[in-house]
Amino acid sequence: MKKLTAVAIALLVATQANAAEVYKNEKVSLDLNGRAYAGHFFGTKEKAGEPGEKSEKIGANQFIRFGAKGDAVVSGTTKAIGVYEAQFNIGNSEKTLNGDKTDTVYNTDGDEITVTTSDSNDGNLRTRLAYGGLKDETWGQATFGRQKGAVSLISDWTDKSLTDGYGNEALGVATDTYATGRAADVVKYSGVFGSDKEFMLDASYKFDGDTKEETGGNNNDSKSADAYGIAAVYNLPMNFSIGTGYNVGKFEKAGESTDAKLWVIGAKYDDKAAYAAVNYAQGTDFVGVGKDHTGIEAVAGYDFVNGFGLMAMYNNQTVEQSGKDDVDTVKYYTLGAQYKFNKNLRVAAEYRINDKDTDASYDYKNDMQLAVRYDF
C-alpha cells in the first residue's frame, strides 16, 4: 500500500508541476510522462451504392497515454534501464466495458450449463512499450521486451503527422507486423559510433511467439512471427542524414518456410525549425502472400518562433499481384497546422485529400481532424 501511495503521489506531483523527472540521485533516476489527446475526425458517412462512398476515418479519436522510464547505475558507465508506456483509448461514450456475458451451452454429457465471460477492457487499454536492458556510453544499448524494431530508425523520419491517425502508412512498417514497428519479444541493439557520433546502427530480432505456423501477410498471423531487422544511419554535415534498413519476417507457404522482406531507404533534413524527409520502401510478401509493394512517404514542415507550425505529407503504397492490375492501396496528401501555447499544450488541424483507388465496395472521400493535445 505504501508503494502504491508513493507512486500515486509521484504521478500527481509530475502532472501538477509539468515535470517529467520525479526522482534522481547519483545512481538512480525515474521519469514519468503522459499525454492527453482529444481529437475528432470529420468526413463523409458511409453511403450505399455501387460503389458506395465513405471517409476512412470519422468520429472520436481520444486517448490518455502514460509512461515511465528509469535507470540505475550497475558499474562505471553501465546502467540498467527500464521503459513502460501504455495508452487508454476513449470512445464516444463513458462506457469502456461491455460487462459480463452469459451463454447457455452443453457439456460433453449433454447437460445444459451456464458460462459467464467478462470483457476485461474492450481493447481500450494497450501496452505500447515494455522493455528493459543495459546501456553504456562506450558500446551502446541492448534491450529486450516490447519495443520498436530496427527499421523504425528510418521509418520514423516520415511519421510526423501533427495529429494522431495520419501518416507512416505506405512503407509497410506497422505495429505488430514482423517487428517493424512496436512488437513484443524483441531483442535489440542500438549503437552510435564515430568521432562526432555520426554513425548509428540498430539491429533487432523477434522471437516466434505463436504456437502454430504463420501463414503470412500483413494480418494477425504476422504479429507473432519471428523476424529480424537491421538499419544504419549516417549523419552528414549541414543537418542532413541518410539511412537504410532491411527487415525479414518468417511464415509458412505451401508447407515451406518463406521470407516476407522489406527494404527501406530514406533521407532527412532537420535544423529544428525546418524539417523535410522522404522514405522509399520495397516489399515482397510483406503486405500479403504473393503481393509485392512499393511505398513512398514524404513530409515537409516548418515551426515558427511564435508557436505556429505547418506540415505537409504524402503517402503512396502500390501493390502488385500476378494476374491483377496494380492498386494504390494507400494514396493521400495531408495539410496540417498547429499552434503551441507552451511546451505542454497545443491545438492542431489536419486535412487529408484521399486519392486511393476505388475498390469494389467504396469510393473513399476526404477527411480531416481537429485535436487538442496536452503533454506532461
**Higher-pLDDT residue of 347, 290:** 347
The whole-chain average pLDDT of the chain stands at 86
Residue 124 has pLDDT above 90, yes or no: no
pLDDT digits (tens, 9 = 90+) for 297-331: 999 999 999 999 999 999 999 999 988 999 999 99
pLDDT of amino acid 211: 55
- pLDDT single digits (tens) 269-283: 999 999 999 999 999
Answer yes or no: is pLDDT of 14 > 50: no
**How far apart (Å, rounded) are the C-alpha atoms in residues 251 and 232?**
26
- The residue type of 42 is F
Q: Which of 361, 357, 367 is nearest to 52 (CA)?
A: 361
- In the prediction, which pLDDT does 216 show? 59
| pTM of the predicted model over 0.95 | no
DSSP secondary structure letter of residue 221: G
Question: Which residue type does 253 have?
Answer: K
pLDDT at res. 348: 98
For residue 128, what pLDDT is reported?
96
**Residue whose C-alpha is closest to residue 174's, from 206, 210, 149:** 149
pLDDT in tens, 214-263: 555 555 455 668 999 999 999 999 999 999 999 999 887 767 778 999 99
DSSP per residue, 250-316: EEEETTEEEEEEEEEEEEEEE-SSEEEEEEEEEEESSSSTTEEEEEEEEEEEEE-TTSEEEEEEEEE
**Comparing 117-121, 317-321, 337-341, which segment has the lowest mean pLDDT?**
117-121
Beta-carbon contacts of 48 under 8 Å, excluding residues fewer than 6 positions away, are none
Task: Tell me the pLDDT tens digit for each residue of 183-213.
Answer: 999 999 999 999 888 999 999 999 987 655 5
